[in-house]
Amino acid sequence: MKKLFNIIDQYKGVLPSALMVGIFMLIPILIIVVYSFMIPNPNGGGRTGFSFDFFQKLFFCRDLFDNLVFSTGYLKIFFRSMWISIIAVIVSLLVGFPVAYYIATQNADRRNFLVLLITIPFWTNLLIRTYSWILVLRDTGLVNSMLISSGIINEPITLLYTEGAIILGLVYTYVPFMILPIYASLERLDIRLIEASRDLYTTHWGALRYVVIPLAMPGIIAGSILVFIPSIGAFIAPELLGGGKNLMLGSLVQLQFSSGRNWPFGSALAVIIMAIVLIALLIQARNSRKNGTEIVH
């Protein structure tokens, strides 16, 4: 018993943090994992028992003769979610990197003001911000009205309820998560390094490729992870801007817990999303450790 008290006294500094992580993170995750192996209840929730029904439902469905046949329906949703999330990361990087570089090259007062502008969208509810894009993208919205009034087009272009609209919504929502880590990396950039590369007769692209991008790589990796993780589980943008026609994993989870009343399957999908997030975080940790080792050498 005395040894136990000594261990508690030794780690009492981290005990409150461990309790917070256990109560608000580990226990909810454990509940989701347990639900994913339960038997679905038609009225919602799950019944006690052990079932791999979610594995079967992911890859198979029953035909008119109640036979199991291979189905790609949920796999299409999975790959669509991955594809849209990766495109959102790429677009966010193309938009966020120049913005972060511009902010990092300004004086201190101007940098603080520009960073404040980047965070302003977070002051407004995400649902309201996403609804505003409906007013912009719909057939009678701002974009089509401007194009028609300028004579570029004669009839509205379908912009809303497409994968492009979903990607736009994801980029608009999460691009600050790309800008801020890259800015944090570039903030420590010594401008003299770029000047030295120019003195060695390198081009602007050469200075960007061999000086700026390598120094910004930790921020690029962190920003990509921060954009990819919420994008893969997003459901507000797919529901509102995609019109429910382009389901993603987040929307599918929401449907299973609401109208589908299949909590075990919804929990299984949530576990899959968490597994994808864990893999992404492990990749980031591995790259960070590798970069740290290279710096030491």
pLDDT digits (tens, 9 = 90+) for 39-58: 877 777 777 777 777 767 77
**Who contacts 77 (Cβ-Cβ below 8 Å, separation ≥6)?**
247, 248, 249, 252
The pLDDT of residue 297 is 44
Tokens representing residue 28 in the block: 């909810």
- CATH number of this structure's domain 73-296, picked from the four choices 3.40.50.2000, 3.40.950.10, 1.10.3720.10, 3.40.50.1000: 1.10.3720.10
Please report which helix (H) or strand (E) contains residue 157, including its range.
Answer: none
The pLDDT of residue 168 is 94
Tokens representing residue 68 in the block: 């199991």
* Cβ contact 169:91 at 8 Å: no
The pLDDT of residue 295 is 42
Exposed/middle/buried for residue 37 (C-beta within 10 Å: 0-12, 13-18, 19+): middle
Torsion angle of the four alpha carbons 149, 154, 160, 166, in this order, in degrees rounded to the nearest 10: -90
pLDDT digits (tens, 9 = 90+) for 231-279: 988 888 998 998 877 788 888 888 888 887 888 888 888 888 888 888 8
> What is the residue extent of each domain of the chain?
73-296
pLDDT digits (tens, 9 = 90+) for 65-95: 777 777 788 888 889 999 999 999 999 999 9
